[in-house]
Amino acid sequence: MRIALFPLRTVLFPQGLLPLRIFETRYVDMIRRAMREGTGFGVVLIRAGGEVGEVDEVAQVGTLASVADFGQMPDGLLKIVARGERRFRILARDRQADGLNLADVEWLEDPPETSLREDEFPELRSALSEALSELGDEYPVGERRIDDAAWFAGHMCQLLPVPAPVRQRLLETTGVRARMALVEKMRL
């Protein structure tokens, strides 16, 4: 599968939400195309280079994103909320003339997960509920599904106050329960 990439200095997790301000023409065009065609775009962590201009190196694992919400800011910039869909690994990457990065990717599947048992990750569940209440409309999560393992792990990892390389390690971990076990070991 070939997708457009949106390299950032952050990580997006499946089920997670990421508010973005879009101002570069190549990314405005990418978002318009994704919305028009109902396709997504890949969010990948920048390892070298800047968010504006050329990106030298990106992480090999990223997340396909869809546009969950969009609007225009008072300064005319496009604002969106990206929703993480599924993880991928980059097989090959190249750059268009306009600077947009494209990649051939393979999908990374997590083992099917069921509902969380009541005794699983109680401190993390409480912390996520509290964080979501405090954030309110800043993080428009919609219906809370705190007992859904994938939903819980995606939002918990998305909201963690840890450096990007730690977040990337979590994203690269296979299985949502394995991710949450790593988060629990961090004792935030």
Tens of pLDDT, residue by residue over 89-136, are 999 999 888 888 999 999 999 888 778 888 889 999 999 999 999 988
Closest CA to 46 of 98, 9, 3, 78: 9
Residue, of 172 and 77, whose pLDDT is higher = 172
Q: Rounded to whole angstroms, how far apart are CA atoms 134 and 148? A: 21
- The pLDDT, as a whole number, for residue 51 is 65
The model's pTM is 0.91
Written as six digits, the tokens of 126 are 């409480």
Question: Is pLDDT of 81 > 90?
Answer: yes
- List Cβ neighbours of 113 (8 Å cut-off, separation of 6 or more): 149, 150, 153, 175, 176, 177
**Could you tell me the residue ranges of all domains in the chain?**
2-108, 122-186
Task: Tell me which of 2.40.10, 1.20.58, 1.10.3470, 3.40.109 is the CATH number of domain 122-186.
Answer: 1.20.58
> Domain 2-108, CATH 2.30.130.40 — does that match?
yes
- The pLDDT, as a whole number, for residue 188 is 53
